[in-house]
Amino acid sequence: MMTKRTLISCTLLLVSFLMHAQGPVRDRIKTLKVAFITERVGLTSEEAQQFWPIYNEHEDTLEEIRRKERAELEGNMARAQDLSNNESERLLDRLLELQFEKQKVDQEFLSKLRTVIPAKKVLLLVKAEEDFKRQMIQEFRKRRGGG
């Protein structure tokens, strides 16, 4: 059985390889994330059957919110200096709405998870997601020569 340190090293090595591979890198990173979370959270097969549909639905919902942010906000934020007060007010209101929507989605997600896995595993998930994100950022910086 692989130790956590070995698994993490292998994961990072694989991520490094995948960053240079052809094809849909996003799907490959998602596959790595699934393996990382499964190992870190310690999901049983029964828990995983209930957990992953909830998790995937949550990820899809967050991606839709991110799409809205990109579509509605990015162009306007780039020209924030040139916006009128009214335009700025509307843009800020929309930004707050989307942030509130994300917060609500996250709260609902955590509440749903509590019904299918123990609270400790929910907390382990939160930590695993942060750890995975941190490792991906470190790998990206390393690839770009930034550290």
- The domains of the chain are located at 1-43+119-147, 55-116
Q: What percent of the chain has pLDDT over 70?
A: 83
3-state secondary structure at position 54: helix
Q: How confident is the model at residue 19 (pLDDT cuts 50, 70, 90)?
A: very low
Which residue shows structure tokens 């549909």? 53
Amino acid 140: pLDDT: 84
Mapped onto helix, strand or coil, the DSSP state of residue 145 is coil
Q: Are 23 and 31 in contact (CB under 8 A)?
A: no
The Cα–Cα gap between 44 and 46 comes to 5
| Tens digits of residue pLDDT in 123-133 | 999 999 999 99
- Cα–Cα dist 48/42, whole Å: 9
Q: What angle do CA 102, 136, 123 make, to 5 degrees?
A: 50
CA distances from 121 to 24, 42, 54, 93 (A): 30, 8, 14, 35
pTM of the model: 0.74
Q: How far apart are CA 33 and CA 83, in angstroms?
A: 40
The reported pLDDT for the residue numbered 26 is: 79
Phi, psi of 79 (to 5 degrees): -110, 30
What per-residue confidence (pLDDT) applies to 22? Answer: 44
Neighbours of 131 (CB within 10 A): 14
Tens of pLDDT, residue by residue over 44-81, are 999 999 999 999 999 999 999 999 888 877 777 777 78
- Whether the predicted pLDDT of 12 surpasses 90: no
Q: Could you report the per-residue pLDDT of 84-110, keeping only the tens digit for each?
A: 899 889 888 988 999 999 999 999 999
